Homo-oligomer: A and B are copies of this chain.
Amino acid sequence: MRRIRYQEIADELRGRVAEMAPGSLLPSESEMSTEFEASRVTIRRALELMRDDGVIDARQGFGWFVATDPVPQRLERLGTIEAQLGASGLDAVRRVIEFSFETPPPHVRRVLGTGKVLRVKRLNLADGEPFAVVTVWCPARLGQRLSMDDVESHPFHELLDVELRGATQTIGAAIAEPDDAELLRVPTGAPLLKCGRVTTDAAGRPVLMSEHVFPAHRTEFVVELPYDQPSVTPAGLRLVE
């Protein structure tokens, strides 16, 4: 697969910048030029790409520096299902079903890239009743030091050492395959709500991919559709009796 040079460089730099303190200085364009064996123009394109993402910025005569991050860890807002359950007075329990490092299937590879990934499949229970099967994929690099205990006792975004920015979620429907049906204690062929979520870090790169499967008879999504202005009404997953 062919790649564009300046994108490669940008990717490499993104990794480095992620480890640097906001405000710290990057090497000069010329230095990078010799290091990457690319012309200054190419280096600049990579840097400008990142500037467009708001990751870094530059001042003429001064240099390129890591942008002071305007977004403090507000991400808890992204919210886990557990938090919503906790708010409704139910106690949520996770049980790890599968935990393995492996090469990603195509639909994951398209998002996270070709490197190895950690796949964790968990069953979520509310008051002892199973209500969700969640599969999470994350790059092996990020999941390297995670144990089964870790993922059983914490939501994933608390375990990763990256700052998350947001997510895109798709909501669809499917019917229960035998394995998920057994886990959720519903008959095979029962309707399921199936949500795919791609979570991105502060640089906008996808770092987590997950698939949530809910039995339709217990769950539904509630969405507020404002007419004139985007509302601040929180919405989310609601358990129906």
Contact = CB atoms under 8 A, between A and B. Distances in A.
Interface stretch (A37-45, A132-140, A160-168): A160-168
Given A3-B25, A27-B2, A170 B228 contact: no
B167 A225 contact: yes
Interface in A23-56: 24-28
Interface stretch (A13-21, A90-98, A146-154): A13-21
A192 B175 CA distance: 9
Nearest to A223: B169
Interface of A, secondary structure class, is mixed
A178 B76 CA distance: 39
A196 to B, nearest CB: 8
A113 interface: yes
Interface string A66-93: 0000010011111100000000000000
A229 interface: yes
Nearest to A73: B227
Contact of A170 (B175, B221, B233): B221
A230 B224 contact: no
